[in-house]
Amino acid sequence: MSDRRPMATRAALAVTLLSCAPTLGGCSSGGGAPAQDSAPSLIVSTIPAGFPKGTNIERAPADNALTLDRALLGKRLFYDPQLSRSNEVSCSSCHQQQYAFADPGTVSTGVEGRTGTRNAPSIVNAAWGKTFFWDGRAASLEEQAGQPIENPLEMDLSLADAVARLAADPSYVDGFQKAYGEAPSESSLQKALASFVRSVVSGSSPYDRHLRGDDSHFGPQRKRGEALFLSEKAECFHCHPSGSLSNEGYFNNGTFTDGGDTGRQQVTGRVGDLGKFKVPGLRNIAISAPYMHDGSLPTLEAVIEQYDAGGRGDPTTDPLIKPMALSKEEKADLLEFLHSLTDDTLLVDARFAP
Amino acid sequence: MLSLPLELLMAGQPFVFGQPNALSDGGSLVPLNFRFYISDVRLLQSKDAPVPVDVLTAAGVPEPYGVHLFNAEDADSSTLRVLAPAGDYTGIRFALGIKLACNQQAPASLEDPLTDASQMTWPHTGGFLFLRYEGRYTAADGSSAAPAGIPPAVHMGGDIQQELVPHVTVSSAFSIPANGRLEIGVRVAVDQVFKGATADIDVSDIAVGLLSTPEAIAGERPRRELPELPVFELQP
């Protein structure tokens, strides 16, 4: 027999139910380790509001536990231009702290001024990522860490050569010994870089505080923008769900046009993955311009305009990307909400600086 | 362990994820997203009460919350595995979705497969989707206007105030041997999902808020019809 009971209004009771959800029972998995109470200075136990369970420490792989020694070693490597063939660029050249560890350039610039094809994404809160790079070709931060070093358009140095350089530096030899109990190796180089990236956590934006119940910096316009963001009119939430703001999936958001970067299809070979790119998290989005995989949109206003238009018109655009006919006020509300995602403390946090 | 590999079909032919699938009208359909939850699995017996069984991961451990997420993008998810006692059975019954107690909780308080990464979340006040489909149709003449029976998206969900998850019964006799190991294929007729999604069913009573969109309405129709819609079939 079909259940034909009417679907009642959801929102009003929902907040009440969710607020007392822990007492409802009936949906338990029996897992979950507690967060560390006393964390080392570079490694914090903060979980950004609305993110999945588990601190960055708990989410580190078993063969690369997140320790202070490893994160500090990774930070030194992250800022070291020795990891590029010409000693010109480091990881930090494209992941700049003042831009929330993103790149203000349209596309990344590597050794000898070589330019890539994509805008470097932010590394913030990558500890909660499932896959990495715009096309998701890396399944772990460790796997990701070595690829820019070897990419001819980026740092253009083989991992073997990178290790040789590090092995010639007694201070690095000591650092690797302390962190991994061994001399520098390709594996430990990648693990150390991944450890630093895993330590970069942003969870103090007005939005984070709003989700924790503090609306002192989350006024009416930001609330209107949030409501619109989560509505079926704007439909942002399909890819950017409340809280984590990324569903870790791949979608063709209407930026792809014929002849452009084919994105996820380069990994899977599927026709349906043409023009799909990984959904980025949006923490600190207001200061990590330009936008989209190709850095083709210079401002958040331009991003909102593109979505409002339903993309650039390519027939491969995801069916959920449709013209929205947002009003001028609604666009302003959305923009203000996006500005609430900025964690100013991250940009100047000395723990993450060289 | 009873293994139930799930195969997507369209009009009896394999429906390949991410690739153009030829349709009878000369057009083609590329599925871009297709995933659904299965939970509360029970084996049916001719005389005795249904036997509730644990849903297992590929590693053989219980799935968190007893919930399996089929994700057409992930081959590892394409088989439903349950720990079943030996015996003779007349079929299988399961919930196509998640129970109310899970649907009422925020994804951030849960773990996979009930996190945002499932791509099955509505805004936190709306619970989870039970089934999600999106696809791209191309007509024989190259146009993208889909015929009435091919919805561009189907988002089936529940309600955090009441238990609305549909239950599906799939009848077919099978015996699980003493060693407990058996594999039975399950055909998933996507065309039946579309049939339900585009049926002439008045769901105007849900046309409020989140559920007023075409994809949500397309999902609500099969939710109501699913007990009778032959979406699932055990391979003989």
**Per-residue pLDDT tens over the stretch A71-127:** 999 999 999 999 999 999 999 999 999 999 999 999 999 999 999 999 999 999 999
Integer CA distances (angstroms), B39 to B80, B81, B87, B112, B123, in order: 10, 11, 21, 14, 22
Q: How many Å lie between the alpha carbon of A120 and the closest alpha carbon of chain B?
A: 22
For residue B185, the tally of other CB atoms under 10 A from its CB is 14
Residue A279, pLDDT > 50, answer yes
Cα separation of B12 and A152, whole Å?
48
Share of chain A above pLDDT 90, in %: 86
Least confident of A151-165, A257-271, B207-221: B207-221
Q: How many Å lie between the alpha carbon of B225 and the closest alpha carbon of chain A?
A: 6
Q: What are A343's two structure tokens?
A: 């964690």
Q: At what angle do helices B214-225 and B190-197 cross, to 10 degrees?
A: 110
How large is the average pLDDT for residues A39-63?
89
How large is the average pLDDT for residues B218-226?
91
Residue B160: pLDDT band (50, 70, 90) is: confident
Quote the CATH superfamily of domain A56-202.
Cytochrome c-like domain (1.10.760.10)
Residue in B116, B206, B216 nearest the CB of A6? B206
Average model confidence (pLDDT) for chain B? 92
Residue A183, pLDDT > 80, answer yes
Cα separation of A215 and A236, whole Å?
22
Residue A38, pLDDT > 70, answer no
- The H or E element spanning position A68 is helix A68-78
Q: Which of residues 267-326 of A touch B (CB under 8 A)?
A: 268, 270-273, 315-316, 318-320
**Per-residue pLDDT tens over the stretch B102-138:** 999 989 999 999 999 999 998 766 789 999 999 999 9
3-state helix, strand and coil shares in percent for chain B, rounded to the nearest 5: 20, 40, 40
Q: What angle do CA B103, B114, B222 make, to 5 degrees?
A: 55
Residue B147, pLDDT > 70, answer yes
Query: Is A206-346 CATH 1.10.287.4070?
Result: no
Residue A3, pLDDT > 50, answer no
| Per-residue pLDDT at B199 | 93
Chain A residues with beta carbon closer than 8 angstroms to that of B106: 18, 21, 50, 243
| Per-residue pLDDT at A17 | 33
Evaluate whether ipTM surpasses 0.90: yes
Chain B residues with beta carbon closer than 8 angstroms to that of A11: 125-126, 209
| Per-residue pLDDT at A174 | 98
Residue A24, pLDDT > 70, answer no
Query: Which site among B100, B116, B134, B141 would you substitute to test the A interface, given the most A Cβ atoms closer than 10 Å to its Cβ?
Result: B116
Q: Is B191 on the interface with A (CB under 8 A)?
A: no
| Per-residue pLDDT at A45 | 82
Cα separation of A49 and A41, whole Å?
20
Residue B235, pLDDT > 70, answer yes
Domain spans in chain A, listed from the N-terminal domain onward: 56-202, 206-346
- φ, ψ for residue B159, nearest 5 deg: -160, 135
How large is the average pLDDT for residues A139-149?
98
How large is the average pLDDT for residues A220-240?
94
Residue A18: pLDDT band (50, 70, 90) is: very low
Residue A34, pLDDT > 50, answer no
**Per-residue pLDDT tens over the stretch A233-270:** 898 999 999 999 999 999 999 999 999 999 999 999 99
Residue B163: pLDDT band (50, 70, 90) is: confident
**Per-residue pLDDT tens over the stretch A285-331:** 999 999 999 999 999 999 999 999 999 999 999 999 999 999 999 99
| Per-residue pLDDT at A1 | 36
Residue B49, pLDDT > 90, answer yes
Residue B209: pLDDT band (50, 70, 90) is: low
| Per-residue pLDDT at B125 | 67
Question: pTM for this structure?
Answer: 0.91
End-to-end CA gap in chain B? 19
Instruction: Judge whether A153 and A126 are in contact, CB under 8 Å.
Output: no
Q: How many Å lie between the alpha carbon of A36 and the closest alpha carbon of chain B?
A: 17
Higher pLDDT pick, A91 / B145? A91
| Per-residue pLDDT at B211 | 64
Q: How many Å lie between the alpha carbon of A321 and the closest alpha carbon of chain B?
A: 11
| Per-residue pLDDT at A314 | 95
Place of tokens 């309600």: B159
How large is the average pLDDT for residues A9-37?
41
Q: Is A139 on the interface with B (CB under 8 A)?
A: no
| Per-residue pLDDT at B208 | 53
Domains A56-202 and A206-346 share a fold: yes
Which residue of chain B is at minimal alpha-carbon distance from A11? B125
Instruction: Judge whether B158 and B127 are in contact, CB under 8 Å.
Output: yes
